[in-house]
Chain A
């Protein structure tokens, strides 16, 4: 059965090249975006609408609405990170993707053209380890 998964020499070289390129780009991206405190950047299409710091332990949650292509997307920032709680799109992928708080995480709602991207070091990462 495992014989089936054995590629040719060319296959293995391609896999190696792909893995090296992907890992290298991952490191470059992480080193560029993990500096500074954790913030959520919110975009609509080409425009940066707002940058919010992620709430630290003990800070109150905050919610707000962003106007997108189809209507208002509701965003909540709390201890778990940032999440979209309601969206006017039909697919609802953005709502189902849940809360995010790690640098490099994104929540995208393509139909509504909304993007939330997280940069910086999250202070609540220690909780994740204890869990």
Chain B
């Protein structure tokens, strides 16, 4: 009886996938870490998981970044136990909005560095959370009263995460 052998994909093909997967696992880990942090309220997290989205965007392109954002929220909420709850919907909207915003900024804004991209991503994330809650759960514009101070905090974390992302990517490409 002939044995069935499936041809194995060449290593070069697996390499990119393995890198993406490693970064996905890192993003999931950071997602869980941030969920466990004593936070400044449910609206605010440092956004370290979005930092990985940004790294994937500049290392592997827009498709990989979007896939990572979706995969991270989906699998992350498996572990936290929030799958398909409002928390999950809000995380997903925020993560996707940040990814899309960062892709647009990366592609179309001349002279922008990872810091500016991360800044815009953080702002988009915060705005998307509020728009999602306002349109799906609590249809009151009074929600937006709380937005400006949170957006100011987003500016700070977005900037710092961008600087971290730039440092990490420089180390990865042996520039420093």
Residues of A whose CB lies within 8 Å of any CB of B are 4-5, 7-11, 14-15, 18-19, 22-23, 25-26, 29, 33, 41, 43, 45-46, 90-91, 93, 97, 103-106, 108, 110-111, 113-115, 117
Contact = CB atoms under 8 A, between A and B. Distances in A.
8 contacts: A7-B113, A8-B112, A9-B111, A22-B151, A46-B139, A106-B146, A108-B138, A113-B137
A18 B155 contact: yes
Contacts of B112: 8, 10-11, 14
A10 B118 CA distance: 13
Contacts of A111: 85-87
Q: Specify the main secondary structure of chain A where it touches its partner.
A: mixed
A62 to B, nearest CB: 21
A125 to B, nearest CB: 17
B152 interface: yes
A10 B119 contact: no
B116 A10 contact: yes
Contacts of B137: 45, 110, 113
A25 B25 CA distance: 38
A8 B116 contact: yes
Nearest to B109: A10
Chain B interface bracket (under 10, 10 to 19, 20 to 34, 35 or more): 35 or more
A24 to B, nearest CB: 9
Given A45-B137, A113-B137, 8 more contacts: A10-B113, A10-B116, A15-B116, A43-B138, A93-B41, A104-B146, A105-B145, A108-B138
Given A4-B166, A108-B138, A110-B133, A11 B145 contact: no
A22 B152 contact: yes
Contacts of A25: 147-148
Interface of B: 41-42, 85-87, 90, 109-113, 115-116, 119-120, 123, 133, 137-140, 142-149, 151-152, 155, 159-160, 162-163, 166-167
Contacts of A5: 115, 159-160, 163
Contacts of B138: 43, 45, 108, 110, 113-115
Contacts of A11: 112-113, 115-116, 119, 162
Q: Across chains A and B, which 10 residue pairs bring their CB atoms closest together, nearest first? A: A11-B116, A26-B148, A10-B111, A93-B42, A117-B142, A7-B115, A104-B145, A46-B139, A8-B113, A106-B146
B111 to A, nearest CB: 4
Nearest to A43: B140
A103 to B, nearest CB: 8
Contacts of A14: 109, 112, 116, 119-120
Nearest to A104: B145
Contacts of B160: 5
